[in-house]
Amino acid sequence: MNILDQYITTAPSAQNAVNIFEHAWSASFIHPYEHLEAGTIPCFTDARVAWAAEKLGGFTNKTILELGPLESAQSYLLEKQGAARIVAIEANTISYLKCLLVKELYNIKGLELLCGDFVSYLKETQDQYDVAFASGVLYHMKRPVELLYLLSQVSDRLFIWTHYYDEALIHPREHLRERFQGSGEAEFAGFKHTLYRQEYQTTLNWEGFCGGSAPFSYWLSRSDIIACLEYFGFDQLEISFETTDDHHGGPSFAIAATRTPNSIRPSSYSATVLEYTIAEHLLAKEAHEPEIIQPEIRQPETENIVSVQIEAMQQLLNEQQTYIIHLEQVVQNKERHIRELKKHVERLENGRIMRLMKALRRNQ
């Protein structure tokens, strides 16, 4: 690919910017950009945001921590609900750049986008938020209960939308059933639960992939999610947006969780208690995950001179071959142009002859 292929030669437009991530969008846009060609999911009209605001005491002038904003459609809606400050953390670099684009298009002034892993952030931060907003992230986690614990340390109000594991609902659907590869018992911070291993499989090949940072994740059951929130002190739970067999991704639900002043707060845990204990057979699978191999950085002083010369010659030959192909295309275009000119001249001559013949007939 030539670097010049990355240049745009038309007048500036929002579509030009959106096309940087062509075929990688999930969301369809709304006014004033409803004409843009992007995704098909109506994320900018997501009713879950307004519902969360209603159940969690409103978002006006609130600080909100948003995990995995994807394309910042919900960030846009959070600001429309009056949020004063939205800190959104995205680890997928393509999604992060799409969020920046959406922030620019819709002028989301209160949005602060951070590029990185939100689990690492939650382990280090001392910040507190009025609301933690985690839509579509829990079922992408390798350590899901740890995430719920970490969220309980930064806010007393949580919004969670997530898929969950239910064998009776998943097993009859082949495209879901084949993604689950075993289950096992686990424990974190004293909370015992069951993990169900889900594998992304071929969806990892889509440039618009919006899953986790590993080839797999662990799902929780619906009852374990509810029990876990209660375990960490959230004593008021509102549940809505239930789906069972009518969502392509599997059963799902939304929870607005509030921890009131009178509820029991999670106590401080020792480092040992905060270690995630997972069934050995699940850990064995994790140990055999293919490693992501980073390209080796070659130091110039250690390069083999002969191999460098061969590579340079090969590059020169490739450039010459490219130039020859270019010349052949030029010649072919010129030959085609000449043929078209000849046909045009023939048509003109035929037309002229026909007009002369008609004139002669009229004069006879």
Pairing of strands 111-115, 236-243: unpaired
- Mean residue pLDDT of the chain comes to 87
Q: What is the pLDDT of residue 248?
A: 85
Q: What is the pLDDT of residue 361?
A: 73
Q: What is the pLDDT of residue 111?
A: 98
Mean pLDDT within 111-120: 98
Residue 308 has pLDDT above 50, yes or no: no
**Whole-number Å distance between alpha carbons of 311 and 315:** 6
**Whole-number Å distance between alpha carbons of 53 and 79:** 11
Q: What is the pLDDT of residue 309?
A: 52
- The highest-confidence range among 49-63, 197-211, 293-307, by mean pLDDT, is 49-63
Q: Taking the CB of residue 272, how many other CB atoms lie within 10 A of it?
A: 6
Q: What is the pLDDT of residue 226?
A: 98
Q: What is the pLDDT of residue 321?
A: 62
Q: What is the pLDDT of residue 326?
A: 57
Mean pLDDT within 16-31: 95
Lowest mean pLDDT among 140-154, 266-280, 291-305: 291-305
Q: What is the pLDDT of residue 344?
A: 72
Q: Which of 214, 184, 198 is nearest to 249 (CA)?
A: 198
Higher pLDDT, 209 or 76: 76
The helix-helix angle for 73-80 and 93-106 (nearest 10°) equals: 40
Residue 95 has pLDDT above 80, yes or no: yes
Residue 83 has pLDDT above 90, yes or no: yes
**Whole-number Å distance between alpha carbons of 132 and 152:** 9
Confidence grade of residue 300 (pLDDT, cut at 50, 70, 90): very low
Q: How many helices (H) does the chain have, and how many strands (E)?
A: 11, 11
Higher pLDDT, 331 or 165: 165
Phi and psi at residue 110, to the nearest 5°:
-85, 5
C-alpha radius of gyration, the chain, whole number: 30
Residue 234 has pLDDT above 70, yes or no: yes
Residue 291 has pLDDT above 80, yes or no: no
19: region left, alpha or beta (phi > 0 left; psi from -120 to 50 alpha)? alpha
Residues 46 and 71: beta-carbon distance below 8 Å: no
Mean pLDDT within 209-222: 90
Q: Please give the torsion angle defined by the CA atoms of residues 174, 24, 147 and 200, in that order, rounded to the nearest 10 degrees.
A: 30
Lowest mean pLDDT among 207-216, 233-242, 287-296, 308-317: 308-317
pTM of the model: 0.78
Mean pLDDT within 115-134: 98
Residues 64 and 85: beta-carbon distance below 8 Å: yes
Q: What is the pLDDT of residue 355?
A: 75
Q: What is the pLDDT of residue 357?
A: 74
Residue 294 has pLDDT above 60, yes or no: no
